[in-house]
Amino acid sequence: MSLLTVKNLRVAFDGQEVVHGVSFSIEAGERVCLIGESGSGKSVTALAIDGLLPPNASVEGSITLGGDELLGAGERTMLGVRGKRIGFVFQEPQTALNPVVRIRTQLVAALRNHTHLPRSQWRETAVELAQSVGLPDPEHIVDRYPHELSGGQRQRVVIAMAMSVHPELLIADEPTTALDATVQARILRLMMASTAQAHTAMLMITHDMAVAGQTATRLLVMKDGRVIEAGTTAEVLRHPQHPYTANLVNAARTLSLS
């Protein structure tokens, strides 16, 4: 049985369908990338998996995690899934972090919610988590507020938060778009190392074929709310079958040479 199975997923906003019958699966420990341009439906698909769509969204189909149906599950059930079974890394960490709460408190949020971590260990655990994702001077950085960190440092905090309870699945929605190339490469390496160590599956959402090629073992190409091509990363990069996929691959090659 696959870890995550999405079957015939359909999502509409105020009656306007934007995801049209998407189906795919992810095995335990596998790294899969959902790639497509803005508006292709990839982020909507990711948010649907974690039950984070807004109230005006209607969803049909099936989403199972370890055999448990998530679609239609109540908010109480999903609160037990988010953070514990599914970690989520958003594109802009500034929106994922509370600006008036110190880093140390936010780092242990998932552990406080899903484990019996005693208050006396919060700070020590926060420092350990900061150290695990390579944050500089972890003893002091945990006492800062999000605005006092760089974009790359904030993203490391979000990754540490998402991985703190060793979830079964990590969803990363355009996690490096706002970062420069050097920091982007470091963040991607960190996510791959963190998920590999915990044997956590990863669903990467990106519009960048170069990012997809670096992080995923299998690619799912989305266009206009549908998966138009799927295969191993090597297969898709070497022999793209759909013209849209070929354009993505060619664009990535052109950028790498410029």
Tokens found for residue 118: 């005693």
pLDDT digits (tens, 9 = 90+) for 193-211: 999 999 999 999 999 998 9
What is the pLDDT at residue 257? 43
- Choose among 217, 224, 155, 229: nearest CA to 191: 155
| Angle at the Cα of 168 from the Cα atoms of 166 and 170, rounded to 5 degrees | 85
What is the pLDDT at residue 17? 98
250 versus 225: the higher-pLDDT residue is 225
206, 222 Cβ separation under 8 angstroms: no
pLDDT digits (tens, 9 = 90+) for 111-168: 998 988 899 999 999 999 999 999 999 999 999 999 999 999 999 999 999 999 999 9
pTM: 0.93
Q: Residues 6 or more apart from 195 whose CB is under 8 A from it?
A: 29, 31, 163, 170, 201, 202
